[in-house]
Each structure stands twice: as structure tokens, then as C-alpha cells.
Homo-oligomer: A and B are copies of this chain.
């Protein structure tokens, strides 16, 4: 079974109706296997001129609540800024319910991979961000 069919089936089981918008958005995600913004999705060809922005927005919400897609990053609307202290690197553990952010004590396990990427891809000024998300003990 193709990815598209599998997604459609999952959506149906989750109680979503099979609408033009659902088909279009799943096709879009199937073809573009990378994170996309709302406006990228809307202007994706499969949806362009066919679905309203609000429709896609609400459909993204539904798919997200069914665990079929995920919104990347910290889930607040506002941007987060963090201090950079030379020689110090921090990864974070974030509660998806109350939004609390705490730094992780454990040493970051990513530096080796970062080095590999630096060498293999030719990217410059490489750095990374690592965040763990979950529901903290107080919240669940």
C-alpha cells in the first residue's frame, strides 16, 4: 500500500471525512517529504486556488490532533531567544502541556554527528538545536 493510501486510511479511522482538502493536503505531504509552512502547503499546486487558507489551517489542526502531522518547534507563537555562552551548549526539555522549559544536564550526544555533517556537506558555521518534548509529571 502506498504512503498516500496508508495516510488516507489512518485519517478515515481517526474519524476524518474524505474531502478534497484532505486528499490534496495528504498528496502534498506525500510528495514533499519535508516540513512546510501553511502558505507553502497552500501554494503547493494540489491545493492552489482550490482550498481556503482557513480550511487548510483547520485541517492541519485536525491532522495534528490525530498525531498524523506535527508542528515543529516550541509551540508558542512567539520567537524564543537564548543566551550564547562560549564553551557552553544547552539542550532543552519542554513540556507540551504547560510550556515549561528546562535545560538538560546530560552531555549532548550530537557533536560527533555534527562533525560528520560539517565534513560531508560543506556547510559552514554549523550548529545544532536539540529539544525534547513531552508531558511533564505535573501535567499528566
Q: Is the CB of A130 within 8 A of B133?
A: no
Q: Is the CB of A121 within 8 A of B93?
A: yes
Task: Give chain A interface residues in 84-132, CB to chain B under 8 Å.
Answer: 84-85, 92-93, 95-96, 101-104, 106, 109-110, 112-114, 116-118, 121-132
| A14 at interface, CB cutoff 8 A | no
| A1 at interface, CB cutoff 8 A | no
User: A30 CA to B112 CA in the complex, in Å?
Assistant: 29
Residue of B nearest to A135 (CB): B124
Q: Is the CB of B132 within 8 A of A123?
A: yes
| A38 at interface, CB cutoff 8 A | yes
Interface residues of A (CB under 8 A from B): 3, 7, 29-30, 33-39, 41, 60, 64, 67-74, 76, 78-85, 92-93, 95-96, 101-104, 106, 109-110, 112-114, 116-118, 121-137, 140
Q: Is the CB of B81 within 8 A of A60?
A: yes
When distances are taken between beta carbons in the complex, the residues of chain B under 8 Å from A29 are: 83
User: A92 CA to B18 CA in the complex, in Å?
Assistant: 31
Q: Is the CB of B106 within 8 A of A116?
A: yes
